[in-house]
């Protein structure tokens, strides 16, 4: 069993930056595809970006290209989402997820989920 805990969310002004963290316990993340998803108010959950166990990143959502990047620290069993040039439309609950068999951008294919962290971008 894998437990994922997100942190780092908060309120930021448009144009600002945040770094979210996803700390894992129970199993190493070094063999997992790690994804970030978000759910904005009144909208469906959507894929944001993902990072495979080999260190390659899957193509991020068009809405975040050039602004969001992922990294991981295997020694800390933690994954990060660096967000810059934030926009009000980035306001959402952000979730990290882990998948241990293959790569995917579809939420239902991920096995483990964190509880989410709120990101609010003010205009």
Give the per-residue pLDDT at 94: 98
Query: What percent of the chain is modeled with pLDDT above 70?
Result: 100
What are 122's two structure tokens?
A: 């003010």
Answer whether residue 93 shows pLDDT above 80: yes
pLDDT score, position 57? 77
The model's pLDDT over 40-52, given as tens digits with 9 standing for 90+, comes to 999 999 999 999 8
For every residue of 3-37, DSSP letters joined together read EEEEE--EEEETT--EEEEEEEESS-GGGSEEEEE
Residue 53 clears pLDDT 90, i.e. is over it: no
Q: Which residue has the higher pLDDT, 106 or 54?
A: 106
Residues 6+ apart with CB under 8 A from 62: none
Rounded Cα–Cα distance for residues 38 and 50 (Å): 12
Q: Kindly indicate the confidence band of residue 59, based on its pLDDT and cuts at 50, 70 and 90.
A: confident
Phi, psi of 62 (to 5 degrees): -55, -35
- Residue 101's pLDDT band, with cuts at 50, 70 and 90, is confident
CA gap 114, 63 in Å, rounded = 22
- From the CB of residue 78, how many other CB atoms can be counted at a distance below 10 Å? 19
pLDDT of residue 58: 83
């Amino acid at each position: 069993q894998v437990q994922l805990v997100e942190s780092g969310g908060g309120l930021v002004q448009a144009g600002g930056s945040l770094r979210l963290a996803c700390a894992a316990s129970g199993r190493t993340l070094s063999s997992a595809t790690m994804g970030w998803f978000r759910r904005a108010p009144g909208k469906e959950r959507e894929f944001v970006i993902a990072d495979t166990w080999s260190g390659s990143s899957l193509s991020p959502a068009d809405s975040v290209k050039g602004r969001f990047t992922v990294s991981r620290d295997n020694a800390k069993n933690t994954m990060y989402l660096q967000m810059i040039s934030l926009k009000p439309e980035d306001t959402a609950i952000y979730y990290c997820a882990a998948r241990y068999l293959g790569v995917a951008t579809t939420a239902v294919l991920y096995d483990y989920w964190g509880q989410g962290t709120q990101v609010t971008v003010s205009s």
